[in-house]
Amino acid sequence: MKILGIETSCDETAASVVEDGKRILSNVVISQIDIFSAYGGVIPEVAARSHLEAILPVIDKSLKDAKLSWDDIDAIAVTHTPGLLGSLLIGTLTARTLAILHNKPLYPVHHLKSHIYANWLETKGKPTFPLLAMVISGGHTQILYMKEHNHFEIIGTTHDDAIGECFDKVAKILGLPYPGGPSISKSAKLGDEKKYKLPHPKVENLDFSFSGLKTAVLRAVQKELGLPISHPSHDLKNHLNDQQIADFSASFEKTAIDILLEKLSLALSEHPDVKSIVFAGGVSANQKLRKEAEKLKGTDIFFPEPSLSGDNGAMVASACFYEIESGVKPADPYKINILPRSEIK
Ligand code: KG4
Ligand code: ZN
C-alpha cells in the first residue's frame, strides 16, 4: 500500500510517499529555518504563507521522486493536529482538496503519533510491544506506554515548557541561532559540562517541568557576568565570551539529557513488561542523548534516522499505515477539521 503523507504543522512543508509503512519512496522537506533563524523563533503568519507557496511543488516533487502518478497512490494522510493553526490549515485543506479531486481515502493523523512511527521507517529491526515512547519535540515532552500498535497511554507529561522549547529559549539567552537544539549541541562540543551546576526540577511521578531549568540558566549567566537579575535577558549574549557560551551549552545539554533519562529509567522500573523504548520528535536527533541512552539496560532502544527525527511526511504516512492496519476508517474529506491542541488517542 502506497500512502502520500503531508506535514505542515510548524515550519517544515513536507510530503513523502511510503510503501507499507516502512519503505520510503520519496521524502521532500522544505524547511523555513533560514527565514526564522534571524528572528529567534517561528512567526505563525509567515509560516502559513510560506506553506501556501511551497505545498503544491513539494507534493508534485514527492510523486516525481517516487516515479509515481496519482493512480498509484492508495491513500492520503495529513497532519491535522496539534500545531500552528495557520500551518495546519494549509496542509489539511490541500489534502482535503486532493482527496476529493483524485478520489482517494483521506486520513487525518496526530502529529505525535507520526513522530513515534518514524521508528518503523527503513529500520532493520522493529520495536516490539509493549513499549515506551519518549516524545521530545518543540511542543511536547511525554512518555507514553503502547501495549500494541495505535494504542497510546500518556504516563508522563510536562507541566510547562517542552524540552525542545527549552533548548530554543536557552539558545536565545546565549545568543545562539534558532533552532536551539542543533546550535547548543554544536557549541557544547567545546564546553565543560561540569562547569555550571544546574538544578533538576522536583516533579513527582513521571512528569516533567522545564521552565525552571531555563530560568536557572538565565540566573547562572547573570551571576557569572556579575549582573543583577533585573538585567535584560536579550542583552546578556553581548557580555558572554565563546568559552562561557560553550560551557553553558554543555552544562545545560547534560542536565536536560540527565532529566529525560532519569524519568525514563523510573518509567522502565514501573513497567517491567516493556520490551522496547522508542525516542521520537526533533530532540531525538541529539547525538549526546543517543549515546547516553545506550546505558539504559534491559530493553531494545530505537531512534529514528537522524534525518527523520524532525518534521517530515514519511512519518505521517507510516503512522497512517498502522492506523489502517488497526482498523481505522478514512474520514469524510468535506468534514476534517484542524485542532491546534489535542492529546494523542
Ligand atoms: O519535532 P520537531 O521538529 O517539531 C515539533 O514537533 O515541535 O522539534 C523541533 C525541536 C526544536 O525545539 C529544536 O530545537 C529541537 O527539536 N531539536 C533538537 C535537536 N535538533 C532539533 N534539540 C536537541 N538536539 C538536537 N540535535
Ligand atoms: Zn514535530
Give the pLDDT mean for 324-344.
97
Q: Which of 12, 137, 187, 189 to mutate to test the pocket of ligand 1 (most atoms within 8 A of CB)?
A: 137
| Residue 302, ligand 1, Cβ within 6 A | no
Helix axes 242-270, 163-174, angle to 10 degrees: 170
User: Distance between CA atoms of 302 and 247, rounded to whole angstroms?
Assistant: 29
Q: Number of H helices and number of E strands within the chain?
A: 10, 10
Backbone angles phi and psi of 130, in degrees to 5? -70, 150
**How high is the pLDDT of residue 38?**
82
**More confident position, 34 or 208:** 208
Q: pLDDT, tens digit, for every residue of 232-248? A: 999 999 999 999 999 99
Query: Is ligand 1 within 6 A of the CB of residue 116?
Result: no
CA of 104 to the centre of ligand 1 (A): 32
Contact 15, 300 (CB under 8 A): no
pLDDT for residue 123 = 77
The whole-number pLDDT of residue 40 equals 83
Q: What's residue 214's pLDDT? A: 97
113 has pLDDT over 90: yes
Evaluate: CB of 139 within 6 angstroms of ligand 1. yes
Mean pLDDT over 55-84 rounds to 98
Nearest listed ligand to the Cα of residue 309: 1
Ligand 1 contact, 179 CB (< 6 A) = yes
CA of 310 to the centre of ligand 1 (A): 6
With a 6 Å cutoff on the Cβ, whether 25 touches ligand 1 is no
CA distances to 8, 93, 94 from 53, rounded to whole Å, are 12, 14, 12
Q: Is the CB of 164 under 6 A from ligand 1?
A: yes
Residue 18, judged by CB atoms within 10 A of its CB (0-12, 13-18, 19+), counts as buried
Q: Which residue has the cell 547548543?
A: 184
Neighbours of ion ligand 2 (CB under 5 A): 137, 311
pLDDT category at 191 given cuts 50, 70, 90 is very high
139 alpha carbon – ligand 2 mean position (Å):
8
Q: What pLDDT, on the 0 to 100 scale, is given for residue 39?
A: 86
Q: Is the pLDDT of residue 35 over 80?
A: yes
135 within ligand 1 shell (Cβ under 6 A): no
Neighbouring CB atoms inside 10 A of 199's CB total 12
Q: What are 242-296's pLDDT values in tens digits?
A: 999 999 999 999 999 999 999 999 999 999 999 999 999 999 999 999 999 999 9
pLDDT value, residue 277: 98
Coil, helix or strand for 75? Answer: strand
- What residue owns the CA closest to ligand 1's atom 10? 138
Q: What pLDDT score does 124 carry?
A: 75
Give the position, in ligand 1's atom list, of the atom nearest the Cα of 310.
Answer: 3
Average pLDDT value over all residues in the chain: 97
| DSSP code per residue over 85-122 | HHHHHHHHHHHHHHHHHHT--EEEEEHHHHHHHGGGSS
How many whole angstroms from 311 Cα to the centroid of ligand 1?
9
Q: Quick one: which of 143, 176, 148, 135 has its CA closest to 283?
A: 135
Q: Can you tell me the distance from the alpha carbon of 178 to that of 312, in angstroms, rounded to the nearest whole number?
A: 19
Query: Taking Cα atoms as reference points, which of 306, 27, 301, 312 lies closest to residue 181?
Result: 306
Q: What pLDDT sits at residue 298?
A: 84
173 close to ligand 1 (CB < 6 Angstrom): no
Nearest to 209 by CA among 265, 264, 163, 253: 163
Residue type, 115: H
Q: Is the pLDDT of residue 216 over 90?
A: yes
Which pLDDT score is estimated for 226?
Answer: 98
